[in-house]
């Protein structure tokens, strides 16, 4: 392992992503990537009484599927890196408790899946682990309830809003394997340009994605054309446009090979998700379902995956006054 430039880590014995798995909700099942997911659910509850319990079940079953596909016994997986959007990361904590694998809780918001892959691959490359499990989940209904407004209120969503993906993505990363490999990591900085609108996450996240993108190119000496695909996690239509434009002003033309998981996962015309998909499961399922298979089948050989997360737009919601509180009505 060695460091390149200011922020990048080069993995000299790059870990292999041995397997991935993905389960998605009913809306994602109607989207253009449906055939790539391992399982599409018919309803948001999946037989559970609450959205949170459904989300826990989704991540639990996704993880079991990834482990089964890997051919590695669960007892040979050294550590698990996982997190989600919910208070206390309850969906991953409860979804993974029966796995009996030592657990590192990660909070990268919508970037959790890729943050977990970064941490896991450093553990594998360094010899701290031989096999690790990386996983995340999100759920449209539980996320709206926690971060915006309960669905029962029937609030209208503005056009800049994104639709939290219901689903889970999981990957088993190992020291042993023949690829696809994780070869480099460029952990990003917090870049906050002051966007405070919880319904415009693309604009909030694009400057941070730009910063990491440029840093990666600067650290490695690579150009956008080096990659078959440059993929952001969940900038959506608005954020994608901002990132494309900002990149050009910085001298990097990414127009021909750049796309965003939030743009890819839903059909813009038919699905009415406004600015596209978002949430931990957006990049989690799109990578685990679609891109991983493209890499396996050599339809894509080199990809740059930039997960994105929000800070500021939730700040105002959470600190609006010292008299806020949490009400529960059964």
114-173 residues in contact with its own copies (CB under 8 A) are 115, 118-119, 122-123, 125-130, 141, 145-147, 149-150, 152
Contact region with its own copies (CB under 8 A), list: 64-72, 105-113, 237-245, 297-305: 105-113
9 binds its own copies (CB under 8 A): yes
Closest CA to 18 of 104, 111, 140, 120: 120
Asked if residues 13 and 125 have their Cβ atoms less than 8 Å apart, the reply is: yes
Nearer to its own copies, 156 or 256 (CB): 156
222 Cβ contact list (under 8 Å, min separation 6): 216
**Least CB distance to its own copies at residue 27 (A):** 17
Phi, psi of 143 (to 5 degrees): -70, -45
Kindly report the number of other CB atoms within 10 A of residue 189's CB atom.
11
Closest to its own copies by CB, 122 vs 171, is 122
- Kindly identify the residues of this chain, within the stretch 39-78, that bind its own copies according to CB under 8 A: 49-53, 78
Binding to its own copies (CB under 8 A) within 184-213 occurs at 185, 187-190, 192
**Residues 60, 95 contacting (CB under 8 angstroms):** yes
* Listed ranges 57-65, 100-108, 235-243, 257-265: which one lies at the site for its own copies (CB under 8 A): 100-108
14 or 108: CB nearest its own copies: 108
Q: Is 113 in the site for its own copies (CB under 8 A)?
A: no
User: Which residue among 68, 87, 159, 225 contacts its own copies (CB under 8 A)?
Assistant: 87
CA–CA distance, 184 with 262 (Å, rounded to integer): 23
CA distance 167 to 285: 7
- The two three-digit tokens of residue 255, written as one number: 């127009």
Least gap, CB of 66 to its own copies (angstroms): 18
Please answer whether residues 49 and 205 qualify as being in contact, where contact means their C-beta atoms are separated by less than 8 angstroms: no
Work out which of 35, 47, 297, 322 binds its own copies, going by CB under 8 A: 322
Token digits of residue 51:
């959205």
Binding residues with its own copies: total (CB under 8 A): 75
Computed on alpha carbons and rounded to an integer, the radius of gyration of the chain in Å comes to: 19
277 binds its own copies (CB under 8 A): no
Binding of its own copies by 29 (CB under 8 A)? no
């Amino acid at each position: 392992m060695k460091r390149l430039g200011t922020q990048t880590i080069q993995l000299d014995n790059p870990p292999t992503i041995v397997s991935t798995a993905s389960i998605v909700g009913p809306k994602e099942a109607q989207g253009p990537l449906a055939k790539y997911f391992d399982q599409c659910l018919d309803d948001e509850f999946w037989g559970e009484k609450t959205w949170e319990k459904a989300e826990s079940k989704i991540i639990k079953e996704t993880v079991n599927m990834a482990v089964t596909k890997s051919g590695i016994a669960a007892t040979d997986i050294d550590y698990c890196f996982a997190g989600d959007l919910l208070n206390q990361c309850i969906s991953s904590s409860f979804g993974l408790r029966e796995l009996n694998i030592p657990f590192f809780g990660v909070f990268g918001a919508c970037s959790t899946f890729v943050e977990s892959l970064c941490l896991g691959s450093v553990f594998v490359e360094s010899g701290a682990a031989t096999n690790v499990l990386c996983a995340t989940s999100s759920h449209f209904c539980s996320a709206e309830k926690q971060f915006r407004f309960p669905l029962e209120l029937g609030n209208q969503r503005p056009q800049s809003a994104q639709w939290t993906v219901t689903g889970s993505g999981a990957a088993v990363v190992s020291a042993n394997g023949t690829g696809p490999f994780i070869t480099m990591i460029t952990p990003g900085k917090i870049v906050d340009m002051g966007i405070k609108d919880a319904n415009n996450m693309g604009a909030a996240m694009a400057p941070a994605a730009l910063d990491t993108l440029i840093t990666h190119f600067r650290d490695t000496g690579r150009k956008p054309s080096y990659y078959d695909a440059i993929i952001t996690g969940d900038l959506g239509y608005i954020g994608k446009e901002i990132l494309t434009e900002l990149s050009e002003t910085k001298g990097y033309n990414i127009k021909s090979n750049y796309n965003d998981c939030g743009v890819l996962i839903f059909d813009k015309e038919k699905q009415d998700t406004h600015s596209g998909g978002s949430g931990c499961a957006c990049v989690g399922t799109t990578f685990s379902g679609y891109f991983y298979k493209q890499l396996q089948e050599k339809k894509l050989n080199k990809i740059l995956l930039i997960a994105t997360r929000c800070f500021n737009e939730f700040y105002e919601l959470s600190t609006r006054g010292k008299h806020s509180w949490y009400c529960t009505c059964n």
